[in-house]
A = this chain, B = another copy of it.
Amino acid sequence: MPDLTTTVPDWLRAVPLVDHHCHGVADVTLDRPTFEDLITESDAPAPTGTTFFDTQLGFAIRRHCAPVLDLPAFATPEDYLARRAELGPAEVNQRLLRATGIGDYVVETGHRSDEILDPAGMGASGAAGYAEVVRLERTAEIVAEELAVAGAPCDFPTAFRARLDDLLDPRLTGAVGVKSIAAYRGGFDIDPSRPTDDEVTRAVAAWLAAAPEGQPLRLTDPVLIRFGWWEAVDRAVPIQLHVGYGDPDVDLHRCNPLLLTDLLRLARGSGASFMLLHCYPFHREAGYLAHVFEHVYCDVGLAVTYTGAQSAQVIAESLELTPFHKALFSSDAFGAAELFHLGAGLFRTGLARALATWGEGWPEDEQLRVAQLVGSENARRVYRLDEVATTTFGRAGA
């Protein structure tokens, strides 16, 4: 990261990061259409005559990742992808990941997990610790599919609870938290109250009855989404929520985090924490929630990578109302190791710029403390990473 960090002081460059929300990288050679698909949130190719390399993210890749692959900055997309193929995915991933300073990956495994490295694979590739977060909606889909095959959908509440307990059991999967993608399944403008088991059972029956034959189940019923939330609340774990910016499946105005206000009120005192992810362009609203609710945290993960050279402003805005003990770093990277590399690099650059702007008169040790809180300590505290057994969370190969 030669230039991305020119304005990053040494003490900030040395802060180890916990990436509290990410996915795995692909371990195959990526052709141009696949790579372009990984560097956009669109589900369509760029219009004829254009390319997703002509974006903040595309420019950041050419600017900052090309040198990691021994190319000059701003190598052409063609040269970049040719060099990427030449080095091979294992080498590319290791180079890009190990230059991030990410010490621990908290990997969410509920999205196209067969195409990417699993948490242990990420630890090995990045020479880092790792832990897992499980997706509530995916878990519900798996449980419902199993019950449908067994002809016992009425057992859903019990079966879901048992599965969630297993996933969170340190002797089994040992997940350190859960994730909800309610934002992609209808949004947050729903009654947030806890449903009864009867309501849940009826909703599962209706879901299975209406499901198209031979296709994977897709959970969208708000009753079942709320059921997942409340089961997680009962277990007092960190609950990651996708908020704001994402792909065109999202109705963005329905995932303004302020629409979660009533849920957050209902869940006060439960011991559960709510981790608002990305939040762009509602990161100021998310900061308000993190400010006034003791169990709310937030990041601007995905937004940092995608806004590239402009991310410093987004990072500064995300630290207006959010207490320094409530903000976290994440990359939300999926598939391309470049997204980890830039997520971490841009985070350090943006935080360095913010501190330089704000910090006239802030002693270096206070600036460092802010960087440590946001970069890793808040995540270590909330996910209790230091209590997790080394079998599920530890240095790769340990």
Hey, which bits of chain A sit against chain B, CB under 8 A?
A: 3, 6, 40-47, 49-52, 54-56, 59, 63, 73-74, 245, 247-248, 251-253, 256, 258-259, 261, 265, 268, 280-281, 284-285, 288, 291-295, 303, 306-310, 313-314, 316-317, 319-321, 323-325, 354, 357-363, 366, 369-370, 373, 381
Contacts and interface: CB of A to CB of B under 8 A. Distances in A.
A381 B370 CA distance: 43
A55 B358 CA distance: 12
Given A55-B324, A245-B288, A308-B358, 4 more contacts: A45-B294, A47-B325, A248-B293, A310-B320
Given A284-B280, A362-B74, A248 B50 contact: no
A321 B294 contact: no
B362 A248 contact: no
Contact of A261 (B47, B54, B252, B313): B252
A281 B292 CA distance: 14
Contacts of A358: 56, 308-310
A370 B54 CA distance: 8
Contact of A319 (B44, B291, B310, B357): B310
Contacts of A360: 3, 6
B291 A281 contact: no
**What is the interface of chain A mostly: helix, strand, loop, or mixed?**
loop
B307 A320 contact: yes
A307 B259 CA distance: 23
A321 B54 CA distance: 11
Nearest to A369: B54
A304 to B, nearest CB: 11
| Chain A to chain B: the 3 pairs with minimum beta-carbon distance, closest first | A309-B358, A281-B284, A50-B325
A6 to B, nearest CB: 8
A317 B310 contact: yes
A50 B290 CA distance: 13
Nearest to A354: B310
Contacts of A303: 320
15 contacts: A41-B292, A42-B291, A44-B293, A47-B295, A52-B323, A54-B370, A252-B258, A252-B285, A253-B256, A281-B285, A306-B321, A308-B358, A309-B358, A310-B317, A310-B358
Contacts of A324: 54-55
Given A74-B362, A306-B321, A251 B261 contact: yes
A395 B288 CA distance: 38
Contacts of A321: 56, 245, 306-307
Contact of A73 (B45, B252, B361): B361
A41 B320 contact: no
A367 to B, nearest CB: 10
Contacts of A363: 74
